[in-house]
Amino acid sequence: MFDLGIIATVFVLAFVAELPDKSAVAGLVLGTRFPWPWVFTGIAAAFLTHVVIAVCAGELLHLLPGRLLEALVAILFLLGAWLIWREGAHPEDVDAAGEAEAESGGAASGRFDGAGFVKVASLGYGVIFVAEWGDLTQILTANLAAKYHDPVSVGIGATLGLWAVGLLAILGGRTLLRWLPITWITRVAAAVMVGLGALSAVSAARG
């Protein structure tokens, strides 16, 4: 079975962590050029692929001794806090990187105007699949999977969070970003991760 509390927690963390990411901006750019259902299909499949990989990595981490696992989880949470703080501090750099990612994908495929579903979905999948390797949300998902030892709940929460950001970006992310103070949102998320890291550190210290 799955835990709704874990799903909700992971959803919020994954959603906030992905908002300032270059992948969200890449989805926004692709959504302005091609039918959004086609783009979202490819992006959603790529996110799902990365969530499965991250959850499996997290389950492997759970094989470590309890104290070592808690210490590693604490370090990864603090690393995640630093990464999301850094990304939120320079949203214009993320925007430029995301547009470049989508531009390079379009160039590689010849900017196929009038392309069919398979080509558009493949482009969306390829751009996100490459962009998300070693990304904050992938690290975060693996960390949460190791912490909660509930791969199904963590996987569902992370996938829904990433899908929500991707869909928002495709359907009108630029308008959304005018009203949402990304810098402050990411700082709150960073503070939450620091808190989770501190709790894991205390657990590691207590053994």
Amino acid 101: pLDDT: 47
User: What tens digit of pLDDT does each residue of 7-20 get?
Assistant: 999 999 888 888 76
- Nearest alpha carbon to residue 83 among 154, 151, 7, 16: 16
- Over range 81-100, report the average pLDDT: 57
Instruction: For the chain, give the mean pLDDT.
Output: 77
Rg value, the chain, Cα: 17
Number of DSSP helices (H) and strands (E) in the chain, helices first: 9, 0
Q: Give 200 or 36, the one with higher predicted confidence.
A: 36
The number of beta carbons lying within 10 Å of the beta carbon of residue 136 is 23
Amino acid 59: pLDDT: 86
Backbone angles phi, psi at 3, to 5 degrees: -105, 115
Q: Which residue has the tokens 């069919």?
A: 116
- Over range 69-87, report the average pLDDT: 74
pLDDT band, very low/low/confident/very high, at 107 (cuts 50, 70, 90): very low
Query: What end-to-end distance do the CA atoms of the chain give, in Å?
Result: 28
What is the secondary structure of the chain as a DSSP string? ---HHHHHHHHHHHHHHHTTSHHHHHHHHHHTTS-HHHHHHHHHHHHHHHHHHHHHHHHHHTTS-HHHHHHHHHHHHHHHHHHHHHHHH-HHHHHHHHHHHHHHHHHHTT--TT--HHHHHHHHHHHHHHHTTT-HHHHHHHHHHHHH--HHHHHHHHHHHHHHHHHHHHHHHHHHHHHS-HHHHHHHHHHHHHHHHHHHHHHHHH-
